[in-house]
Amino acid sequence: MINNLDIPKPEKRLRRLRVNDTMRRFVRETTLSVNDLIYPIFVEENTNERAEIASMPGVFRETEETLVDKVKECDTAGIPAIILFGVSKHKDAIGSDSMHRNGLLHRMIKISKEAAPNILVIADVCFCEYTDHGHCGPLNDDSTDVDNDRTLENLAIQAVNCAEAGADIIAPSGMMDGGIEAIRAGLDQSGFKNLPIMAYSSKFASGFYGPFRDAAGCSLGGSQGPKDRKTYQMDPANAREALRETEQDILEGADMVMVKPGMPYLDIIRDVKDTFQMPTFAYNVSGEYAMIKFAAQAGAIDHDVAMMESLMCFKRAGADGILTYFALEAAQLLNS
């Protein structure tokens, strides 16, 4: 055994600022609050009973009646915003139900605003939940891809429909070229010049969306259209392209930008925030949620610790807000 080694003592003791919880909170660089949370809600049309989504434990397809209680629950918890996704029973090739004033999209926005007037209602403007083929716009003549330019006019109509229902924020998620410009023009021409747009500017063709497809009923695999969304959603390998997409959306009139998914793309969140200094949001998507839920159920991790750590990491990366299915659970902990 070797003895009498002259090991130098550290001159800098960084552990001094970790000695107890109060000290750690006192010097904490990043904070998470209820104000950072946005809760996604699924609403199923023409059903009398809310149903839990098997691949997303704790998340339900609400009915139009139970939507009222869910929105009020978010409002009571102090969550500032919700985003709505419809599970439509009236699908067709172009998603026309979402462009009608009596359609599900219009109704669920109106119901939410009446339930809690002070909560911000974000309208997901896209067609995947309302088309019978599950893609984010009408298909071209030979059904090989989404017709980008035909989709633009429909997006403007859909956005105006949401505005008339009372939406506070329009959030286009389809990744169509020129989509933000088309929506901005439609809103402005219809008297909604002050309605902001939260653009899904960096939305990747990710493998982490699977449970959402179950929840929203927009899985692909039918006889119409391509078998994936890779011609309009981004290649996960591309970071510089994310900056080009974001810049284009800002130039077209986006007021806020988003990165989706969140956890595997923290570098993109940081790049977007540092480059543009815009209000920047992260979508903590369904697959990320499910991984923590099922890992916790298996006893592999502590659910609450992993949940709060993952949400904090979005803020640390530069996100100003987080769309997350954990919002209500996180709010309970943050409010306690």
Per-residue model confidence as pLDDT tens digits over 110-138: 999 999 999 999 999 998 889 988 888 88
User: Catalytic residue among 70, 91, 203, 273, which?
Assistant: 203
**134 φψ region: left (φ > 0), alpha (ψ -120 to 50), beta (else):** left
Give the other-Cβ count within 10 Å of 188's Cβ. Answer: 13
Please count the structural domains in the chain. Answer: 1
- What is the percentage of the chain residues whose pLDDT exceeds 70? 98
Q: Match 């209500």 to its residue by tokens.
A: 328
User: What is the arithmetic mean of pLDDT over 54-75?
Assistant: 97
Side-chain half-sphere of 194: how many Cα atoms within 13 Å? 1
| Inside any domain, residue 13 | no
Which one of 70, 260, 293, 315 is the catalytic residue?
A: 260
**pLDDT computed for residue 2 by the predictor:** 76
Which pTM was predicted? 0.94
* 78 bridge partner residues: none
Is 22 a member of any domain? no
Q: Residue 17 domain-assigned?
A: no
The conformation of residue 7, written as its DSSP 8-state character, comes to P
pLDDT (mean) for 215-231: 76
Cα–Cα nearest to 48, from 27, 72, 64? 64
pLDDT classification of 221: cutoffs 50, 70, 90: low
Residue 165 vs residues 49, 214, 323: alpha-carbon distances, Å: 24, 26, 22
- The pLDDT of residue 222: 62
- Alpha-helix residue ranges (DSSP H) falling in 116-260: 148-165, 179-189, 210-216, 240-252
Residue 297 vs residues 57, 290, 310: alpha-carbon distances, Å: 10, 10, 17
Rounded average pLDDT over 21-48: 96
Confidence of residue 223 (pLDDT cuts 50, 70, 90): low
Q: Is 203 a catalytic residue?
A: yes
Q: With contact defined as beta carbons under 8 Å apart, do 47 and 41 qualify? A: no
The position carrying tokens 């949940």 is 307
CATH number at residue 134: 3.20.20.70
Q: What is the rounded (10 degree) CA torsion for 66, 71, 76, 81?
A: 160
* Residue type (1 letter), 141: D
Q: Please report the beta strands in 189-302, taking only residues with DSSP state E, as ranges in sequence order.
A: 198-203, 256-260, 280-284
184 in a structural domain: yes
Give yes or no: 315 in active site. no
> What is the domain extent for residue 241?
33-335
User: Which residues lie below 8 Å from residue 171, measured CB to CB, with a gap of 6+?
Assistant: 83, 122, 123, 124, 125, 197, 198, 199, 200, 258
Cα–Cα nearest to 317, from 70, 32, 44: 32
Flag whether 1 is in a domain: no
Determine, yes or no, domain membership for 70. yes
Q: Is there a domain that residue 171 lies in?
A: yes
